[in-house]
Amino acid sequence: MNISFEIVPRSLEAFDQQYRFVQQLDSGINTINVPDIQRFDTRSWELATRINRSQYRFVPHFRAIDFKLGSGDLFRIIDDYQLDSVLLVTGDPPEGLKRAYYNTDVVDLIHVVRQRYPALNIYAGFDPHRSGVQEECDYIQRKVDAGAGGFFSQPFYDSRMVEIYAEQMQGLETYIGISPITTKASMNYWEVKNKVKFPKNFQPDYQWNVDFAHQVMALAAANGLHVYFMPIRIDLERYFKQIRFN
């Protein structure tokens, strides 16, 4: 089972701090994935130069709405940074008018990138909270047909949903998202913003989230899947010192 750690590039200093933390974990983490967030100055692919790529696989995120089909901009980035893996997502429109964006469909972007780079590891996202299981699985299949070979999920909070998607994702290199929620305010945010329906036994505390992470890792290992950790505003030491990676 592969384990990825997501580092948000709020600044170069913040990135370097979390990267050093990952290196100190000595936990079997072998992949670093980096989201591209429009309100931050640092772009995901620029972190390629700050990661030891002989130690970690590097998977930068790219937002489809930032790239015009046919422009060649994404191709130039892939070539310039010698990327062997990319995660292509739709992306939210920018706040205000500070950055241009395009009506590029992520399925179309996956298709053109696959045509240009037959050997590239192309990942896409899926969201178990966005819609019904059948609708989301149909969307996953469209991305597979376009050329995606693997997926990173939005975080799960119900092991029963993990089991359902584990069955559906057989044969695809899939990373199940784990993002601890340790405050009531964060729980409310995920309910409103991301449409998460939490199980009745959910508790926004460290112990519940540590126990759940162990459940997800066990399910992933049993089903030939992988996991990635997406820590947001938590005490990294307090959480990860309790996580058993093996």
What pLDDT score does 98 carry? 64
**pLDDT tens across 189-212, in order?**
999 988 999 999 999 999 999 999
How far is residue 46's CA from residue 16's CA, in Å, rounded to a whole number? 13
**pLDDT tens across 101-140, in order?**
889 999 999 999 999 999 999 999 999 998 899 999 999 9
Rg of the Cα atoms in the chain: 17
96: left (phi over 0), alpha (psi -120 to 50) or beta: left
Residue with tokens 């062997």: 84
* pLDDT < 50: residue spans in the chain: none
Residue with tokens 């058993």: 244
